[in-house]
Structure 1
C-alpha cells in the first residue's frame, strides 16, 4: 500500500520549511552566507540540525532558496517602481536609486546576494536573477527609445551593462570590512552612471 501524505501533513511540512527559510534568511541578513550554518539556522528556527535535511537535501539547496526568496522580493519592489508614472528614463533612474538605497540599508544581506562566495547552486541562481534585472532595465530602456526619450540602442545589451556597472559600484561599499561613508552621494553617483550608460540626459 502506497503511503499518501494528508493535507494536514503537507501543511505542517510546508510550515516547517517556511520556518527554516525565514530563519536562514534572518541569519544571512545578520552575518552573510558564512554565518548561515545548518546549526545556526536550526537554532534560529527552533529545530534540530538533522531535521533540516528532511526539507533540504543540502546547505546549498537551502541557501539557494534563501537567495531566491530575498532576490525575488527585491525584484518585486523594483518592478513596482518601474511600473509607476512618468517618463521611462525617470523611472529607470528611480529603479537604480531604489536598488542602491535598499542595498545600502541592508548591506550585509545585499553583499551576500551580490558577491559573497557560496555554493555553486547559488551562483547559478545569481546568473538567473542578473538576467531578470537586465530584462527589467531593458523594458524601460526600450520604452524610452520608442518614446524618443533615449537614443537608439540595443535595450538588452544596455540593460546588461547597467546591471554589471551598478553591481560592481556597490560591491566594494557593501563589503563587511568597508567603512561606511556618504550613502546619499554614492546613490546619486551610481544612478547618474547608470543613466549615462543608456544615454539619458536631463
Structure 2
C-alpha cells in the first residue's frame, strides 16, 4: 500500500479522535460548571461524554491533564470575548469599561464555572493554567490603558500595575465569592459588579466614571 493511501486512510481516524477529544472536553466543562473541579470525577466525565472510561484515559491520562485543558479552553474563550470589545470602537475609557463589564457580567451568568477558574483550591498544574489566564486578561487591559495614556485619555501610570489591579479587583472582589453567595439577588450581584468596575475606572482615569454596560 502506498504512502498516499495510508495517509488517506489515517485522516478519518485522526478526525474521529479529535471529535472524541472535543466531546470529552465539552462534557468536562459542563460538569465543572455544575460541581467545580474537585467533584468532577473522571467516571462522571466519561458518562457525560458517552465514552468508556478507558477511552477517556487514552485522550487524557489523568484528571489533572483534563482539567488543565478545560481551563485553557474556557479561559481563552473569555479572553477573546474581552479582547473583541477592547479592540472595538470608542475611546479608551469606553473600551476599558465595556470589556471589564462584559467579562464581569459573563462571570455572573456562569457563577460556578467562573469561581472554579479563579478561586477553587486546585492542583499546582491547574493553578499554573489559571495564572496564564490572569496574565492574558491583564494584557487585554494593558493594551487599552496604554492607548489611553498615549492619547491623553488616561494620566501617565504604571500600565502593568493598573491592569493587574483591574484583574485582581474583578477576580477577588467579584468572581472569588460567587460560588458561596447564595443570599444576594441577581440585581444585587450586578450592582456589586458595577461598583467594582467603577472603582477600577476611577483608579485608571483619575476621575468619576460610569461603566459602559455591554452584554453579549
SS of the counterpart of 1:61?
A: helix
Question: Which residue does the alignment assign to 1:76?
Answer: 80
What CA distance in whole angstroms lies between the structure 2 residues aligned with 1:75 and 1:12?
A: 28
Partner residue of 2:136 out of 132, 138, 155: 132
**Which segment drifts farther, 163-172 or 39-48?**
163-172
Deviation at 1:91, TM superposition (A): 0.8
Question: Which residue does the alignment assign to 2:203?
Answer: 197
What CA distance in whole angstroms lies between the structure 2 residues aligned with 1:180 and 1:7?
A: 52
**Alignment gaps of 5+ in structure 2:** 1-5, 210-216
Check whether the contact 1:96–1:194 (CA below 8 A) recurs between aligned residues: no
Q: How does 1:1-202 map to 2 (within 5 A)?
A: 6-181=10-185, 182-201=188-207, 202=209
TM-score (norm. length: structure 1): 0.93
Check whether the contact 2:101–2:197 (CA below 8 A) recurs between aligned residues: yes
Check whether the contact 1:56–1:62 (CA below 8 A) recurs between aligned residues: yes
Check whether the contact 1:20–1:42 (CA below 8 A) recurs between aligned residues: yes
Check whether the contact 1:149–1:200 (CA below 8 A) recurs between aligned residues: no
TM-score (norm. length: structure 2): 0.87
For residues 56-106 of structure 1, what are the alpha-carbon distances to aligned partners after superposition, in whole Å with 9 as ceiling and x for unaligned?
121001001111111111111101110111110111011111111110111
Deviation at 1:172, TM superposition (A): 4.5
**Which segment drifts farther, 170-179 or 5-14?**
170-179
What CA distance in whole angstroms lies between the structure 2 residues aligned with 1:176 and 1:60?
A: 24
Deviation at 1:119, TM superposition (A): 2.3
Shift >4 Å, 4+ stretches: none
What CA distance in whole angstroms lies between the structure 1 residues aligned with 2:83 and 2:154?
A: 20
**Which segment drifts farther, 170-179 or 74-83?**
170-179
RMSD over aligned Cα atoms: 1.7
Check whether the contact 2:119–2:176 (CA below 8 A) recurs between aligned residues: no
Q: How many residues align?
A: 200
**Alignment gaps of 5+ in structure 1:** none
Deviation at 1:171, TM superposition (A): 3.5
